[in-house]
Amino acid sequence: MELNEITKEFAFMVSEDIKNKADVKTQEFLRLPANWHAWKHCLENIITNVNNRIDRMNEDVIQLRTIYSDFENDPAASTINNIEKAERFKFHAEKRLVEVDRLIKLNSQGDSNLSLATFLRDAIELHRNLKQEAGLWDETDVKLWEALYGEWGF
């Protein structure tokens, strides 16, 4: 097999996984540590392609509605239906991207307990920053932030 064929086959496996149609062996194959970066790269490409397709379809909707403005029924109804399908697919692709990012982040360091602790610390710090920027925090949030300093406030 040529590299391009392998890439197409890998992209097909990723696509089937996004649609929850991949068999267990394919799901396990994608989640092997050796495949994480290729899986992530493929997901990023898929998301970019879907975004571009959605943009083109939105342009088509505007054009159809402009050209056929006198139609009683929406001339872009089928295109809008396709946009909704593409948005759902993109949502599931983004969920997979979060999954692979998490796998990479959690396992980027030697000790898995340490990497989990680092992951959780980073998550709590991001949570704190977002809440403080928005000015929306409560007592429970403060107790969570105290955990960063080894204090159990719950």
Does 154 have pLDDT greater than 60?
A: yes
Percent of the chain at pLDDT > 70 equals 90
pLDDT tens digits, residue range 105-116? 877 655 555 567
* pLDDT score of 13: 94
pLDDT tens digits, residue range 116-136? 777 788 889 899 999 998 888
* pLDDT score of 17: 97
* pLDDT score of 49: 95
Contact 66, 75 (CB under 8 A): no
Confidence band (pLDDT; 50, 70, 90) for 1? very low
* Average pLDDT of the residues of the chain: 87
Distance of CA 118 to the CA centre of its chain: 21
pTM (2 d.p.): 0.67
Higher per-residue pLDDT: 110 or 29:
29
* pLDDT score of 105: 82
Cα separation, 136 vs 104, whole angstroms? 31
The 3-state secondary structure of the chain, one letter per residue: CCHHHHHHHHHHHHHHHHCCCCCHHHHHHHCCHHHHHHHHHHHHHHHHHHHHHHHHHHHHHHHHHHHCCCCCCCCCHHHHHHHHHHHHHHHHHHHHHHHHHHHHHHCCCCCHHHHHHHHHHHHHHHHHHHHHHHCCCCHHHHHHHHHHHCCCCC
Question: Domain limits of the chain?
Answer: 3-108, 111-154
- For residue 81, the one-letter residue type is N
The arithmetic mean of pLDDT across residues 41-61, rounded, is: 96
Contact 133, 146 (CB under 8 A): no
